[in-house]
């Protein structure tokens, strides 16, 4: 069995403590959900842009932020304003 990693698999974004709730709808995102934080764009140089946000399928409003890494996207999520 191959051990190759798929860059879009959830296990590449581990549980992230300290996630703040959405300022718009109050939903507390589940950081273990694949839809909370994932790469959305791969730049020409190979680096990725990540999206972190409120999951609509889980009852959230879809608010989102972008960052240069998982940590950056989560930090932006935790410091965004309404």
- For the chain, what are the domain ranges? 33-82
Side by side, the strands of the sheet bearing 64-67 are 37-42, 48-53, 64-67
pTM of the model: 0.76
Which pLDDT score is estimated for 11?
Answer: 52
Calculate the CA 8 to chain-centre distance.
Answer: 11
Cβ contact 48:39 at 8 Å: yes
Which pLDDT score is estimated for 60?
Answer: 93
**What are the average pLDDT values for consecutive 10-residue runs of the chain, which has 82 residues?**
49 66 89 84 94 91 94 91 74
Which pLDDT score is estimated for 42?
Answer: 93
């Amino acid at each position: 069995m191959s051990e190759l990693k798929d860059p879009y698999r959830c296990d590449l974004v581990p549980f992230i403590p300290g996630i703040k709730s959405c300022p718009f709808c109050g939903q507390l995102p589940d950081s273990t959900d694949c839809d909370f934080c994932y790469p959305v764009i791969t730049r020409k140089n190979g680096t990725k842009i990540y999206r972190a946000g409120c999951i609509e399928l889980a009852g959230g409003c879809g608010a989102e932020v972008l960052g240069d890494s998982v940590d950056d996207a989560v930090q932006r999520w935790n410091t965004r304003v309404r």
